[in-house]
Structure formats: structure tokens, C-alpha cells
Amino acid sequence: MEFSAAEIASFLEGKVVGDPQVKVNTLSKIEEGKPGSISFLANLKYETFIYETKASVVIVSNDFIPKAKVNATLVYVEDAYRSFIKLLNYANHLRGKRTGIEENVHIDATAKLGEDVYISSYCYIDRDAVIGNSVMIYSNSHIGQNVKIGEGTIIHSGVRIYPDTIIGENCIIHANTVIGADGFGYTPNTDGSHDKVPQIGNVIIGDDVEIGSSCTIDRATLGSTRIHSGVKLDNQIQIAHNVEIHENTVIASQTGIAGSTKIGKNCVVGGQVGIIGHLKIGDFVQIQAQSGVNNNLPDGSRVYGSPSMNASDFRKSYVYFRNFPGIIKRLEDLEKEIKQTIKE
């Protein structure tokens, strides 16, 4: 699709300097710009490229003042980087937009489909499922009984959504993720065997949540496992039964969160973090990569290590961790000197 500079400025609430009717149909890096493309300048260390680029349109921030002639049409906005991301999202939406139902799809007669839905080949939609408007479900996905999926959500290939799961609007679930499988619940017997504890709860996911590929989010034993609006999960993350993650928290790959732990809003959790069960993690907490968390964390904590400790204290202590063999040797040498002195 083609858009004029004027149309782009209107979408971004910006101002055109140059030819408002110049057309673009693709996106590019500023150093790789070519006629018909649109780029952006956010970091001034790349400023030299704006005087050389062949891009037809460049998005710049309002405080940008050219030091030489710029051949491209400029669109001035409040924040060039954020505006370009907004444009990328819109272009991605247009490029990926599909509607219709392909062949070899099973849709139960009791399921309800909204308008402009897309369902790819070899999908299975079970009884009483409710699929909202403009939802896209890609190939080989299974939507279980009584599942509800909100408007504009995208379900990528191979996703498995177990019964009674509720997913909000404008979510993205990436390939091979499993949502709503049984939680890891067993009770030990005197003979060493284990009886399964029935997992009869569900999973509830808010709006604007993105879940990476090959994640697993378990249903609750009772009640709900909850992922609140705005949460972003990387690939290969395990969320156990009855966990609750509040708004806008982001979690990096290979993190595991044990059952019934509650994580606050606007937290940042690094990769390969392990969090034991039944903890309360406050708001705005930062947990650095490969940390092991085994105690509650108040609002605003920054922790590191296993078991985790205050990040600043960990860094100071790490100096001694690295030198520990040398410290031991010095103590042993000192001990020998003392013993020798006593003998003398």
C-alpha cells in the first residue's frame, strides 16, 4: 500500500516540511534509504545519513535542526523513535491482516465467531468457544471448550488453549505456547507414590498481553491463574498454577515461577530467573538474570544472585567471591605464621 507524507503526518500527528504528496510504500533504515521508502532519525549520531539518504520521507523529532540541505521530505513529530514504532506496528498490522476460514478446519456448531475472523487450516474450535471480531488463528491451533478470545487477538501456529481460558483483546500468542494445562499438583502417599490433585480452575489473560513461543501457563487448582493487561512474556517461560502477574510487567526467557506467587505491576524479570511458590513480589521490582528468589520482595527492590540479594550488595560482594581462593590462601599462610611464632 502507498501513503503520502501528508497521510503519514496526519496518522502521527506531525507536520510536513517538504512535498506533502510524495508517496512511500516501504520502510527502511536511514543509511539504506531508497526512493519510495520512509525512515527515521532518532539518534543524532546517525545525523550524517539524513543528508545522504535516498529515502523519500524521514521522520524527525521536533527539536531537529538540519545543518545542511535535506532532499527527503521531513515529518516532524514529538518523538521520532516512538512515532516510527507506531508506524511499524500499523504496517505490520496491514501486512498480516487476513480474514476468512480456510479448508480442513473443525468449528463446533455451538462455537460463536465474530466478524472478520481468520482461521487457518487444521485448526480445531471446540464447543461453546467464543472468538471475537478480527481474531486471527493460524494453522494447527487448538481452541478448547468454552474458551473466550477477545477482539483483535492473534493466535500463531501450534498454540494449544485448554478449556475455560479467557484471553483479552489485542493479545499476541506466539507459536507452540500452551495455555491452561494442568498445574503441577500432587499429594504424596505413605508408600512414596503420588495422587494427582484435580486442577479445575482456569487461566485469565488481560488485554494487550504478548506471550512468546513455547511458553506454558498452567490453569489454577481452584480459581484462576491471572496475567493482567500489558504483560509481556519472552519465549520459553513457565507460569505455574494460581500465579498472578500484574500490569505491564516484562519477563525474559527461561524464567520459571512456581505456584501461587504474586508479582506486582511494572516489574522487570531477567532471563533464567527462578521464583519459588507462595511469594509476594512488589511493584517496580527488578530481578536480574539467573537470580533465585526465595523470599518476598517489597516495592522497588533490585536483586541479584542465588539466593537473591540486593543488587548493589551483590556487586560489592562479587569482588570477594572472585578472590575467595586467594583470601583463603592468605588466611592459611597467616595461620602458619602465627603457629610458627607461638612455637618460637
- For 133-178, give the secondary structure using H, E and C: CCCEECCCCEECCCCEECCCCEECCCCEECCCCEECCCCEECCCCE
Rounded Cα distance, 278 and 288, in Å: 20
The domain locations on the chain are 3-96, 100-313
Fold of the domain built from segment(s) 3-96 = 3.40.1390
What are the CB-based long-range contacts (under 8 Å, 24+) for 139-144?
144/180
pLDDT of residue 17: 96
* pLDDT tens digits, 55-111: 999 999 999 999 999 999 999 999 999 999 999 888 877 777 889 999 999 999 999
pLDDT of residue 308: 74
CATH superfamily of this structure's domain 100-313? Hexapeptide repeat proteins (2.160.10.10)
Rounded Cα distance, 7 and 320, in Å: 60
Rounded Cα distance, 177 and 14, in Å: 39
Contact, 154 vs 172, CB < 8 A? yes
**Which position among 194, 241, 246, 278 bears the catalytic label?**
241
DSSP assignment string, 59-96: EEETT---SS---SEEEEES-HHHHHHHHHHHHHHHHH
Which regions of the chain are under pLDDT 50? none
> Catalytic residue at 194?
no
* pLDDT tens digits, 219-257: 999 999 999 999 999 999 999 999 999 999 999 999 999
